[in-house]
Amino acid sequence: MWISTYFTLNYVGATGLFPIIKIRLVEDGSLVASGTMSELGDGFFRYDFPYYDRTLDYMISCDAVTLPSAERYKASANGEYGNIINDVKIMDDNTEIRALLIRQILTNRLELEDGAVENWKLYDDEDSDVLLSWDVTDKVDDAIFQQSLFDASRSKGH
């Protein structure tokens, strides 16, 4: 299976890079493959992952080491929770921290609360403290107010 990504520098396809890719199992965070991606041109890079197993879920991080932090990292995941991982957009230099966070996103309690700000809440491993929170937003990134079920039923005349 080919894994590909696109890197930019100042919003233009970056070339001359040697991005490092790491592929981990979502289940336990173990590293199953790593290496240098090859350049295709115009900012596109790829990596051949011949051991891909469609029954497993993977987390993929790509690090274009020489780019500024805002453009340096790309992350992805396959499987049921891939979109959640892609949407959170939290990256840093520490792969182990990223793998831990991704595992927590996949396995810990996630709740949608009333209100318009920070109403998605992800709880820590002990299920006691909020680990992460973020807004539910529309396609132009405006917060969406979440009405409580009690208020919703009253407004319908029930």
The Cα 83–Cα 135 span in angstroms is 16
**CATH architecture for the domain at 1-107:** Sandwich (2.60)
Q: Give 45-65 pLDDT, tens digit per residue.
A: 999 999 888 888 888 999 999
Distant-in-sequence, close-in-space partners of 18: CB < 8 Å, separation ≥ 6: 36, 37, 65
Q: Give 50-105 pLDDT, tens digit per residue.
A: 988 888 888 899 999 999 988 898 888 776 555 545 554 444 445 556 667 777 77
CB atoms within 10 A of CB 85: 23
* Nearest of 69, 77, 148 to residue 115 by alpha carbon: 148
The pairing of beta strand 110-112 with beta strand 73-77: unpaired
Cite the residue boundaries of each domain of the chain with CATH code 2.60.40.
1-107
